[in-house]
Structure 1
Amino acid sequence: MGLFGASVLFLLLVAVFGYVWQDAASVTDFSRKNLPPCAGYLFGTDWMGRDMFVRTVAGLSMSIRLGLLTAAVSAVIAFLLGLSAAVLGRAVDGLVTLLIDLVMGIPHMLLLILISFACGKGFWGVTLGIALTHWASLARLIRGEVFQLRESPYIRIAGKLGKSRAYLAFHHMAPNLLPQFITGLILMFPHAILHEASITFLGFGLSPEEPAIGIILSESMKYLAMGKWWLALFPGLLLTAVVLMFHYAGQTICRMAAPGSVHE
């Protein structure tokens, strides 16, 4: 629990300080450009004199907030589709199954880039792209759980008593699906953060004016050959640390919420 508490505290500090430093991350000062890491600038400065520590934390904060939003939207989509597929009849089930197979059959990154580009890129393009491409696996899992619940004696008895499908779905089935929903929601966070950084790095994500981690890494590639190694090293390490901490914290919460639901 000590490591879990430290992970949560670290993520909260990054999210809060990064949000506070959004404006400071864009402040330029050419008198301090291209400084290597030192006591005054822990991650050095870039070619415009921007503090790379402040810029990196601000970028990770944006990634965390975007990851939380997209994971929540995607998990809700998966929950509703998985539930409706199993309780609204064969026609709806066939349509949802077709959508799941379609989304899972297209290369993930390609579909994400296409949606983001079609929506104009930027914050909302990335948000829609990630939210609309991460729900399929969880929806399939929830659909399977609902099919098993539907055969339970108490569900059959409630149906014989005249309860509607909607009543059965939201009063009897939904509470039993919360462990799977929470597990899927939490484990989507690190995937959402990595995919946001990836498509932004490729130029299909957030605007270049934003202090996003993908933009920081993309811009740093131009200067690695010039010996400016700190521009990519520290942002990359911090991104890796955030993703690993999210993954560890998520698995710990899942074990507490539903023991046995997370497989090593």
Structure 2
Amino acid sequence: MNTASNSLSQLALQRFKKNFWGVLSFWFIVVCFLIAIFAYALTPDDSENANQMHLPIHSKAPGFEVMMLHLPNQNPSEEKSWFSQLFFGKQFTGTEIPINHYSFTKDELRIVTYNEGEIVGLEKSYNLAETFPKATSAEEIKKKYIQEKTFLLGTDKYGRDLLSRMLIGIRISLSIGFVAVFISLVIGMGLGAIAGYFGGKVDAAIMWLINVTWSIPTLLLVIAITLALGKGFWQVFIAVGLTMWVEVARVTRGQVMSVKEMQYVTAARALGFGNIRIIVKHIIPNILAPIIVISAANFAAAILIESGLSFLGIGAQPPMPSWGAMIKDHYSYIILGKPYLAIIPGLAIMSLVMAFMLIGNALRDALDVKA
């Protein structure tokens, strides 16, 4: 008899595979995680935080093309390792200048900077030997330093490549979701299991803490913790995590109270096992199903909270790319005829949150023992 196929985990996996939206959301999230890990290998602008600015071409529509002159850095600092460049981007390596056209003389490169309409761009000239010391001919300069550049998602109000900022910004959303859920699970499962298992005054004290925390609006509590810890990347992670443990604790407490009188728990006590071992080894593994579902929902909630904090200016700080901060920088463009600058990051947030909610619903159906 094949007992493996009849196990609860196998049955749950089979039910999950039958859920089209759940499987689609799962693979979408996997792709997002891979993009987040290898973001700098995929971005057109692989500078640190994709912060290469081109003010003359700010707020351009998706698909915008322009000729770009790259001026190499004359005083290069110590370069990062290959591994560091792959995961954290390259240091400043030079300046990019959008141009309309260019020409070579014997010793100089003459350009006309990019400009639209009837206004003519500025004329500039660069000494070939001083500006391009590693190039030996005009053809080499043309091939290596002058290129046609396409901005697939356009540029933001500072002229930065919006696609690059979006790809790197996914790191913030996924990282804060992961860290916040981890913190909420550690605190929520710990306090909930203790309250449900021991009961009495311990349960009353923990429930009082849960009710007090629950009564405070989540966003207000996050803002208070963020202001207390200071603005920054990790401070937001901690703040969001410290506000999301309450629901996990309540569910864990209820589940522990329902299973602590089961026969396998009674048998563990009869064998002389300690309370901590019974909770960790016997009770928690049997109540993970609803906690997993809540974690998926909390992941989505953490992404929304981080986006709201970044919109308010107390989330990830510039120049670090964040989808919420992108909406903050460009929401006024909605009425100025360039709504895509705010809609693109908004759609990204909506897609990622919806994926986690759909996978949460699929897990709920797959892990339902009554199904």
1:53 Cα offset (Å)? 1.6
Q: Take 1:110 and 1:190, find their aligned partners in 2: how far apart are those partners? A: 18
Instruction: Choose the corresponding residue for 1:25, options 44, 50, 54.
Output: 50
Matched, 1:191 2:216: no
Q: Take 1:261 and 1:24, find their aligned partners in 2: how far apart are those partners? A: 48
**Secondary structure, aligned partner of 2:244:** coil
Matched, 1:107 2:128: no
Instruction: Choose the corresponding residue for 1:154, options 242, 264, 267.
Output: 264
Most deviating of 84-93 and 141-150: 84-93
Q: 1:4 to 1:46 in 2, by over 3 A?
A: closer
Q: Take 2:35 and 2:323, find their aligned partners in 1: how far apart are those partners? A: 13
TM-score, normalized by length of structure 2? 0.65
Q: CA RMSD for the aligned pairs?
A: 2.3
Matched, 1:35 2:60: yes
Contact 1:18 1:62 in 2 (8 A): no
Q: Take 2:235 and 2:30, find their aligned partners in 1: how far apart are those partners? A: 30
Aligned partner letter, 2:238: L
Q: Which of the pair has more CA radius of gyration?
A: 2
Which residue of 1 is the match for residue 368 of structure 2? 259
Most deviating of 174-183 and 104-113: 174-183
Q: Which runs of 5+ in 1 are unaligned?
A: none
Instruction: Choose the corresponding residue for 2:330, options 207, 213, 220.
Output: 220
Q: 1:184 to 1:222 in 2, by over 3 A?
A: same
Which residue of 1 is the match for residue 197 of structure 2? 87
Paired residue total: 261
Instruction: Choose the corresponding residue for 1:180, options 263, 267, 290.
Output: 290
Aligned partner letter, 2:368: P
Which residue of 2 is the match for residue 241 of structure 1? 351
Matched, 1:3 2:112: no
What is the CA deviation profile of residues 167-225 of structure 1, one whole-angstrom value per residue up to 9, with x for unaligned ones? 32122212212223322222211111010001110122121321111111111124444
Q: 1:118 to 1:152 in 2, by over 3 A?
A: same
Which residue of 2 is the match for residue 135 of structure 1? 245
Higher helix share: 1
Contact 2:236 2:316 in 1 (8 A): yes
Instruction: Choose the corresponding residue for 2:155, options 39, 45, 50.
Output: 45
Q: Take 2:368 and 2:169, find their aligned partners in 1: how far apart are those partners? A: 34
Q: 1:155 to 1:244 in 2, by over 3 A?
A: same
Contact 2:58 2:155 in 1 (8 A): yes
Matched, 1:16 2:37: yes
Most deviating of 18-27 and 95-104: 18-27
Which residue of 1 is the match for residue 321 of structure 2? 211
Contact 2:54 2:159 in 1 (8 A): yes
1:245 Cα offset (Å)? 1.4
Contact 2:53 2:158 in 1 (8 A): yes
1:34 Cα offset (Å)? 2.1
1:86 Cα offset (Å)? 2.1
What is the CA deviation profile of residues 26-68 of structure 1, one whole-angstrom value per residue up to 9, with x for unaligned ones? 1112242221122622321122210112112221222112211
Instruction: Choose the corresponding residue for 1:58, options 160, 163, 168.
Output: 168
1:141 Cα offset (Å)? 0.8
Most deviating of 173-182 and 69-78: 173-182
Q: Take 1:204 and 1:24, find their aligned partners in 2: how far apart are those partners? A: 18
Q: Take 1:180 and 1:170, find their aligned partners in 2: how far apart are those partners? A: 16
Aligned partner letter, 1:78: G
TM-score, normalized by length of structure 1? 0.89
Q: Take 2:344 and 2:305, find their aligned partners in 1: how far apart are those partners? A: 19
Contact 1:201 1:215 in 2 (8 A): yes
Aligned partner letter, 1:192: A
Q: Which runs of 5+ in 2 are unaligned?
A: 1-19, 65-149
Most deviating of 130-139 and 146-155: 146-155
What is the CA deviation profile of residues 9-39 of structure 1, one whole-angstrom value per residue up to 9, with x for unaligned ones? 4423442344655725211122422211226
Aligned partner letter, 2:177: G
Most deviating of 31-40 and 170-179: 31-40
1:137 Cα offset (Å)? 1.1
